[in-house]
């Protein structure tokens, strides 16, 4: 076990000890193996993250560089449209970096939550009014379902509005004009369930369990073209879970719309 723990400390996370007896030493060996597995998984996640980030930054960076080279060689004519496109591409990188920084803050627990009792409809109205003009612009109807009085939730106001705004902007992004998005809240035992239901593109069943994964996109080209960083839902899940709730996605399939819901505890 001493040899194994030294190997693990030196970075050989695939090292395991053979468990022979189910006594105290055997239990210790099992804990050592569990620790090695956890370290091995964390290392794999770290390696994947670096690969994903490099991949995400490469495309917009290649576009910007290509245009700049064209301009320098005189092959591409400078024009307001070209500069606008360059500006868009750098905006994409900026959003990605901002979202990554936010994700790292949320996942490492470096954000301080200011939770207090708050009326669920107040959160819903704040998110709805933030996005009202974007909905008008795309001609997607945004409605808020109001059912009887609800108890207060224990939540951080800004962070919860951030989650709702994120789900709402996704709903808007994936719902074509003439469609509809409905926002609501209802009591569920000791929780309030917030819901964002849209009549948009929907999500095929095989993709549903993965939409909260970092950089996971059902249709990568389409999502990137629409400016998505692919980590909005990962941040949303972290924010909900850090407030004691859960988040989930449902959809009956392609073009059947989607329903995103999350819970927050009722304040007592």
Interface with ligand ADP by CB under 6 A: which residues? 170-171, 174, 198, 200-201, 203, 211, 216-219, 223, 228-234, 258
Residue 251 to residues 177, 193, 223, 261, Cα–Cα distance (Å): 19, 17, 18, 11
78 or 209: CB nearest ligand ADP: 209
Structure tokens, 227 = 């400016």
**CB of residue 146 to ligand ADP, shortest distance in Å:** 22
- Residue (of 104, 99, 89) closest to 58 by Cα position: 89
32 or 173: CB nearest ligand ADP: 173
64 or 208: CB nearest ligand ADP: 208
**CB of residue 38 to ligand ADP, shortest distance in Å:** 26
Cross-sheet strand order for the sheet of 191-198 = 141-144, 180-188, 191-198, 258-265, 247-251
Distance CA 236, CA 264 (A): 13
- Residue (of 236, 235, 200) closest to 219 by Cα position: 200
Alpha helical stretches, state H, the chain: 2-9, 24-73, 80-107, 120-138, 157-173, 220-225, 232-242
160 or 234: CB nearest ligand ADP: 234
Q: Which residue is nearest to ligand ADP (CB)?
A: 228
Distance CA 110, CA 205 (A): 34
Q: Are 247 and 262 in contact (CB under 8 A)?
A: yes
**CB of residue 139 to ligand ADP, shortest distance in Å:** 17
**CB of residue 202 to ligand ADP, shortest distance in Å:** 6
**CB of residue 123 to ligand ADP, shortest distance in Å:** 19
100 or 231: CB nearest ligand ADP: 231
């Amino acid at each position: 076990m001493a040899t194994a723990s030294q190997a693990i400390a030196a970075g050989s996370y695939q090292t395991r000890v053979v468990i022979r007896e189910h006594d105290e030493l055997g239990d210790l060996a099992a804990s050592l193996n569990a620790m090695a597995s956890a370290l091995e998984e964390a290392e794999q996640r770290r390696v994947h993250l670096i690969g994903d980030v490099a991949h995400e930054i490469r495309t917009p960076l290649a576009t910007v560089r290509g245009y700049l080279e064209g301009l320098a060689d005189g092959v591409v004519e400078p024009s307001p449209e070209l500069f606008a496109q360059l500006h868009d591409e750098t905006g994409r990188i900026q959003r990605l970096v901002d979202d990554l920084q936010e994700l790292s803050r949320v996942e490492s627990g470096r954000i301080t939550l200011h939770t207090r009792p708050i009326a669920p409809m107040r959160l819903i109205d704040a998110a709805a009014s933030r996005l009202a003009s974007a909905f008008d612009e795309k001609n997607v109807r945004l409605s808020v379902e109001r059912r009887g009085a609800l108890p207060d939730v224990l939540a951080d106001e800004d962070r919860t509005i951030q989650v709702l705004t994120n789900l709402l902007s996704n709903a808007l992004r994936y719902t074509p004009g003439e469609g509809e998005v409905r926002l609501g809240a209802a009591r569920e035992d000791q929780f309030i369930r917030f819901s964002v239901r849209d009549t948009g593109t929907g999500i095929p069943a095989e993709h549903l369990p993965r939409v909260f994964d970092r950089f996971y996109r059902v249709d990568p080209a389409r999502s990137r073209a629409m400016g998505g960083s692919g980590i909005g839902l990962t941040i949303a899940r972290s924010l909900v879970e850090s407030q004691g709730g859960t988040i989930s996605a449902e959809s009956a399939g392609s073009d059947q719309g989607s329903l995103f819901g999350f819970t927050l505890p009722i304040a007592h």
